[in-house]
Chains A and B, each alone.
Chain A
Amino acid sequence: MNSSLLLLGLLDGITQAAVLFLVALGMTLIFGVMRILNVAHGSFYAFGGYAAASASVYLASSGESLGAALMPLLAGAVVMGLLLGAIIEFGLVRRILNMDPAMQLLATFAVFMVLEDLQRLIWGVNPVSISAAVDLMGTVKVGAVNYNAYQLLLLPAVAVVIYFGLTLSLGRTKFGRQILAVTHNREVSMAMGINAKRVGLLTFCIGAILGTLGGALAAPTTSLVPGIGGDMMVLSFAVVAVAGLGQITGTAIAAILIGMAKAFAVYLFPEVEVLVPYLIMVLVLLWRPEGLFAVAQARRV
């Protein structure tokens, strides 16, 4: 492996990791607070992408300026994330919190199936795309290879901002500390006067928005087709499992790890590219069943 290959693999890995991180972060955040593995999280990604596309068409900003191209992405993601997050948390998730994890998994899987069909109903089956933002930002040349500035610079920047924003606000703000308290121990935090229901609803909405934002930001680089939600769900689950459920920094590292492993696979062994995320997941889980970054939990009696 020569050094230019290493560089290219690194850059490819980073472009892939950014979106993967956002989506996985939403999933892990929801798990941390609600202890529910939300299978429908992949649908948030898909709906975010489609909502961003619809918002772009509706606001007719095929775009002279970059701001006009990015605004609908953000608007579509936030509106769709709030809508889906609130409806699903209020309508389902808070009612199944005390159920068996297998039942919770099935229930959110049912939501996923419903949303898949709903998506088909609303946006149809033909590929949808909006590429104004990518086209406007142009390319960056690294050696002989052109990268989209949008993917190489903007997406990782957004991911970094969200990472620091989230870790800081969790540690420093009142609401952030409430989230941490509920994550740590729901019952005790409720005894301390924290409104765990409210914390749950808001966290679920934030998690959903992270999912839709991932979809919205990925939309300009891809074509939206039926089935993208399922793929992303499985991949982000691999990231979350490698990191350890509920681990924010771990999720960031795992996303970069899996993004880069996929990129290097394309360079060195293209045949195994599809397998790589799951191979990593299996290896990590064999070695550390709780995930790479899971902290030791105090045993509750």
Chain B
Amino acid sequence: MHGTLKVSIAGLSLVACLVPGYAQQKPAELKIAMTTFLSGPASVFGVPGKAAAELAIEELNAAGGINGVPIKPIFLDEGVGSDKLLSEYRRVVQEEGVKVTLASISSGNCNALAPVAEDLKVLNVMWDCGTEKLLENRRFKYVVRSQGNGTSEMVASVYKLLQVKPDFKTIAVINQDYAWGRDSWELFSTTLKALKPDVKVVAELFPKFGATDFSSEISRLQALSPDVILSTSWGGELDTLIRQAGQRGLLKNGTWILPLAESSLERVGKVLPDGVIVGMRGDHYFLHPENKDEPKHKAFVEKYRAKTKQYPIYPVYHAVAAIQSVVDGYNTAIKANGGKWPTTEQVAEAMHTITFKGLTRPVTMREDGQGLEDQMLGVTKMTPAYPFPVIESLTIYPGALVTNPVGTKSPEWVKTLKPEAMKDSRIKSF
């Protein structure tokens, strides 16, 4: 009896090995956990991101889900802190059977969760965090990023600045005092030094994270009167900075460049004068020059506005893109698997090869898991059509042009940039 059992098990496993891509049972539903800020200052991104994910998943499920499998989302609050988030993350993967996670907004949380996802063998799509170091320092099998990173955003910002204002002598920075504020300035200033070595940095101000008063900083910037002022701040702090600087006339002194300000436009309204260079962490904009009239995009903007009473901002686009990447990853893996439901490993493999299209330009995934997302920046302009400034004179920088090649480290790569790169024919201005 014992012998027969052994033989049949051996036989079965032999069969399993011979059949290419052994059949995985198609599940009744696919559980996806998304980490997003539902509390704390970053909930200005997290709450819109969640709303967008809900809409996108609703739409997807109405159309039959992924190959007939509906998606069931679970949302985890990043505002509880990395430790608590980590245990929640483990719990939903190990106890609730989550197969795919979208984590996170915060780079700190991305850093904390990526190795855990790799250990748990769960597909993790980094849907919004900007840290470029994570995928540069280690090769992951199960962790990918469906969007650009700090390097591509800062390099594109410097390109746009040099296009709008090629001749300037002095620059000052006022960033939040935490990882992103510091890292983004390092990338920005190194890129700028490579392309325009004669620029002088006259002030580096890092008010504390969560600061609500920039009075002294604004006085100092007015006294120094630099040609260019950069701030990669976001959320309430960016709103406050814009408002306080605006009240005291500083926004009209020199050229401001605010690479994340697209997400604040509707809130600050006409306080922001014309001529401020504004970015959107990718090419996400409800008035995207190529995609604004595309039916899918247009319908989504309408639906999102009906649901939230607000215009979509970049995390909305990042959320939709991440979900689309998972759908395309599954479909590609299913195809490769002869139409059968794939293993997570197979999906993760496919995720490193696909090109997917969210609501704006398509993103191509690289072998290191980094998505090549095109970067768009423009200049503010008040129009009668909206009660807040729109972004005009938009330029789109292809992701491949502003992202460092696989195997290189960002701080070294940006030092090698040459001004000729800004004349590349793939850069498109509108």
Within 8 Å CB of A127, what residues of B? 44, 235-236, 239-240, 267
Within 8 Å CB of B235, what residues of A? 127, 225
Within 8 Å CB of A8, what residues of B? 219-220, 223
Report the minimum CB–CB distance from A149 to chain B (whole Å): 10
Complexed CA–CA distance, A223 and B177 (Å)? 18
Say if the beta carbon of A16 comes within 8 Å of chain B: yes
- Say whether A126 contacts B267, CB under 8 Å: yes
- Say whether A125 contacts B43, CB under 8 Å: yes
In the complex, what residue of chain B is closest to A222 when comparing beta carbons? B212
User: Given that A145-B223, A148-B247, A223-B240 are contacting pairs, would A125 and B44 also be in contact in the complex, using a CB cutoff of 8 Å?
Assistant: yes
Say if the beta carbon of A120 comes within 8 Å of chain B: yes
User: Given that A129-B243, A223-B212 are contacting pairs, would A274 and B177 also be in contact in the complex, using a CB cutoff of 8 Å?
Assistant: yes
- Say whether B250 contacts A146, CB under 8 Å: yes
Q: Which of B212, B219, B271 contacts A12 (CB 8 A)?
A: B219
Total interface residues on A, CB under 8 Å, equals 41
Say if the beta carbon of A263 comes within 8 Å of chain B: yes
Complexed CA–CA distance, A267 and B222 (Å)? 12
Complexed CA–CA distance, A21 and B110 (Å)? 41
Within 8 Å CB of B41, what residues of A? 125, 225-227
- Say whether A129 contacts B215, CB under 8 Å: no
Total interface residues on B, CB under 8 Å, equals 37
Within 8 Å CB of A151, what residues of B? 215
In the complex, what residue of chain A is closest to B222 when comparing beta carbons? A145
User: Given that A139-B249, A221-B213, A223-B212 are contacting pairs, would A120 and B39 also be in contact in the complex, using a CB cutoff of 8 Å?
Assistant: yes
Say if the beta carbon of A266 comes within 8 Å of chain B: yes
User: Given that A125-B39, A127-B235, A271-B206 are contacting pairs, would A266 and B216 also be in contact in the complex, using a CB cutoff of 8 Å?
Assistant: yes
Complexed CA–CA distance, A147 and B250 (Å)? 10
Complexed CA–CA distance, A90 and B250 (Å)? 47
Count of A-B contacts judged by CB separation below 8 Å: 112
Complexed CA–CA distance, A208 and B241 (Å)? 28
- Say whether B204 contacts A273, CB under 8 Å: no
Complexed CA–CA distance, A274 and B209 (Å)? 10
Complexed CA–CA distance, A145 and B216 (Å)? 11
Say if the beta carbon of B331 comes within 8 Å of chain A: no
- Say whether B213 contacts A273, CB under 8 Å: no
Question: For chain A residues 146-182, which have a beta carbon within 8 Å of chain B?
Answer: 146-148, 151
- Say whether A16 contacts B243, CB under 8 Å: no
In the complex, what residue of chain A is closest to B250 when comparing beta carbons? A146
Report the minimum CB–CB distance from A134 to chain B (whole Å): 5
User: For B41, B236, B248, B249, which residue has the most chain A Cβ atoms within 10 angstroms?
Assistant: B236
Complexed CA–CA distance, A225 and B40 (Å)? 9
Report the minimum CB–CB distance from B106 to chain A (whole Å): 15
Report the minimum CB–CB distance from B371 to chain A (whole Å): 28
Q: List 18 A-B residue pairs with CB atoms under 8 Å apart, sorted by A's residue number.
A: A8-B220, A12-B216, A127-B267, A135-B247, A139-B247, A144-B223, A145-B223, A146-B249, A218-B213, A222-B244, A223-B212, A223-B236, A226-B41, A227-B40, A227-B210, A270-B204, A273-B216, A274-B207
- 10 tightest CB-CB pairs across the interface, nearest first? A225-B236, A127-B236, A266-B216, A125-B43, A223-B240, A145-B222, A12-B216, A263-B216, A274-B208, A146-B248
19 A-B pairs besides A139-B249, A270-B203 with CB distance below 8 A are: A8-B223, A16-B213, A125-B41, A126-B43, A139-B248, A145-B248, A146-B248, A147-B248, A218-B212, A218-B213, A223-B236, A226-B40, A227-B41, A263-B215, A266-B216, A270-B217, A273-B207, A273-B208, A273-B216
